[in-house]
Chains A and B, each alone.
Chain A
């Protein structure tokens, strides 16, 4: 079953002084229970593609579909609430909220009452390996690896089945990076998430089920190993 796909997506950054063709006719499919890697040089368009999939911008041409239904600009926020979660290189947690509140945030957004959200958020923090950490701490008191785990826990707190990760290990040392990748693999295997990771790291790509390569805004699927 097809979860999320891009159909002939092109994207042009339109600024005052220049036009940048960041994506050209990109078509791809991402399914539940699979781990995808998107590799490519810096500036090749990987982040742009991820943001199209996340509904953080509308394609100049083509469309993004969820279960075959196009995502329009009007429901891009609903798309972000319900279908996809994004994990960033720089974590992007709420600095003024404690760990528990950061994880509960998407649940509140879905109207889950606090007394249900709290135990679930604790479970999620346990699941990403933070059972030892005081949930009342602020993100800034945690290491980068721990912060990224909180970000993943927050991503899991929404109903979304697709996790989009843009260089999630970019700010981490290799050991912590590997732990994050292992965690994402476990989510695919055990919970049937669809995980799409943009990465420079060839080791991460090697562990993926399917690898796409981005080159000058064009996407090609690598032959599977």
Chain B
């Protein structure tokens, strides 16, 4: 009964002291929440890294120098596209002769029409808004089945008097690159319906006159008895965190390391991984995370130490009151309990006052804020105990016979 009263007195009769402690404790709670938020946001950044910094892989020539204009075998394409990747993009090139003049050239030497098969708009390297489609068609035509349709360059369409819905018939040739130049394998006459146009050219590579669904090109090539190859193949890793495992599995998949002296400049025997930025960023984040994590316990101890120091400095002047109470017969352990309870209540109040800051400024969830407060209370207890014990070490008689 006296002790409850005394707790009340300690809290409310020394308002400035209580306010000071509450403010300082609240600052400690906020400090702690920002530290924890840092850990959490670093962790989150690391988790998001695969999306923010996707790691793309390309099939390149054996010497590592070329990503395009290759003769990538179907087996190589399947090896890569089934190795834990998504967003596979591929193209394949062909040529044709649409105008009478071009058809007249014999033997065929490239004609007037460069044709690319693509499995998605992104594989063309041309910005999406540059395309316009006929009714009922859209970008999905590339990923669809072997439909005999094409999307043509506006300039090419104008030149040849083509417009949406027209059918165009011409001899098509498979383009194959060798070290001694291009070779053209006849695929026979093909008939395509114009279902779209585009008015920009790819930033890199030769200008393309028309794009067709790669599935159709593949079918047209094979039905002419010619081996189908891809000109480019790239993909995005499903799990960049398993980058090393992916790289280690490349030889098993039949790919070799890039070798600048390698022959076969147009084969698709090597895979290059664009992981530099990912690795740099991931390492930085991992380093930060492990730094924050390894200093977490020292940080908590520091907080406990600060709490102890604050309590010691603020309550030291109360030791005379404690001595008076002790001389009246209040045991020191009861004084300990009274002051512990008073300070602990102030800690809880600080948490309550700080929690809006935790939720709205530090962006913690209610559960996390509660966890931070709980952790702070543990730190506070670790601080309160030694602070009170050292204050209570006074000699009652010395304290009371001091004349002020």
Contacts and interface: CB of A to CB of B under 8 A. Distances in A.
Interface of A: 47, 51, 54, 56-57, 77-82, 85-86, 88-90, 92-97, 101, 105-106, 108-109, 111, 113, 154, 158, 166, 170-171
Contact of A81 (B13, B328, B397): B328
B9 A92 contact: no
A219 to B, nearest CB: 18
A154 B401 CA distance: 18
Contact of B324 (A54, A94, A113, A171): A94
Contacts of B331: 77
Interface string B1-26: 11001000100011000000000000
Contact of A170 (B320, B328, B403): B403
A56 B327 contact: yes
B27 interface: no
Given A56-B397, A108-B2, A90 B404 contact: yes
A201 B324 CA distance: 26
Contacts of B9: 96-97, 101
Contact of A90 (B326, B329, B403): B403
Given A57-B397, A108-B5, A77 B329 contact: yes
A54 B1 contact: no
B321 interface: yes
Interface in B49-93: none
Interface residues of B, number: 24
Given A81-B328, A158-B328, A88 B400 contact: yes
Contacts of A106: 328-329
Contact of B329 (A47, A89, A109): A109
Contacts of A113: 1
Contacts of B401: 47, 88-90, 166
Contact of A105 (B13, B14, B328, B396): B328
B282 to A, nearest CB: 58
Contacts of A166: 401
A106 B168 CA distance: 110
B13 A109 contact: no
Nearest to A138: B13
Contacts of A47: 397, 401
A193 to B, nearest CB: 17
A105 B396 CA distance: 18
A94 B321 contact: yes
A93 B324 CA distance: 7
Nearest to A93: B324
Nearest to B320: A92
Interface string B391-404: 00000110011111
A166 B5 CA distance: 29
A93 B323 CA distance: 11
Contacts of B324: 92-94
A101 to B, nearest CB: 8
B231 to A, nearest CB: 88
Nearest to A105: B328
A34 to B, nearest CB: 23
A171 B5 CA distance: 31
A170 B404 CA distance: 12
Q: A-B pairs with the 4 shortest C-beta distances?
A: A81-B329, A108-B2, A96-B13, A80-B329
Given A96-B9, A96-B13, A97-B9, A77 B397 contact: no
Given A78-B329, A90-B401, 6 more contacts: A47-B397, A80-B329, A92-B320, A92-B323, A93-B324, A105-B328
Interface in B368-404: 396-397, 400-404
Given A94-B321, A105-B2, A89 B403 contact: yes
A108 B1 contact: yes
Contacts of B224: none
Contacts of A86: 327, 400
Contacts of B323: 92
B329 to A, nearest CB: 3
B182 interface: no
6 contacts: A82-B329, A89-B401, A90-B404, A96-B321, A111-B1, A154-B328
Interface in B303-337: 320-321, 323-331
Of A96, A106, A111, most buried by chain B (CB within 10 Å of CB) is A96
Nearest to A85: B328
Nearest to A96: B13
Nearest to A86: B327
A167 to B, nearest CB: 9
A47 B321 CA distance: 20
B330 to A, nearest CB: 7
B402 A90 contact: yes
A54 B327 contact: yes
A101 B5 CA distance: 10
B327 A80 contact: yes
Given A57-B397, A108-B5, A109-B2, A92 B327 contact: yes
Interface centre among B2, B9, B325 (most CB of A within 10 A): B2
A108 to B, nearest CB: 4
Contacts of B1: 108, 111, 113
A157 B403 CA distance: 24
B396 A56 contact: yes
B332 to A, nearest CB: 9
Residue among B320, B324, B329, B396 with the highest chain A CB neighbour number at 10 A: B329
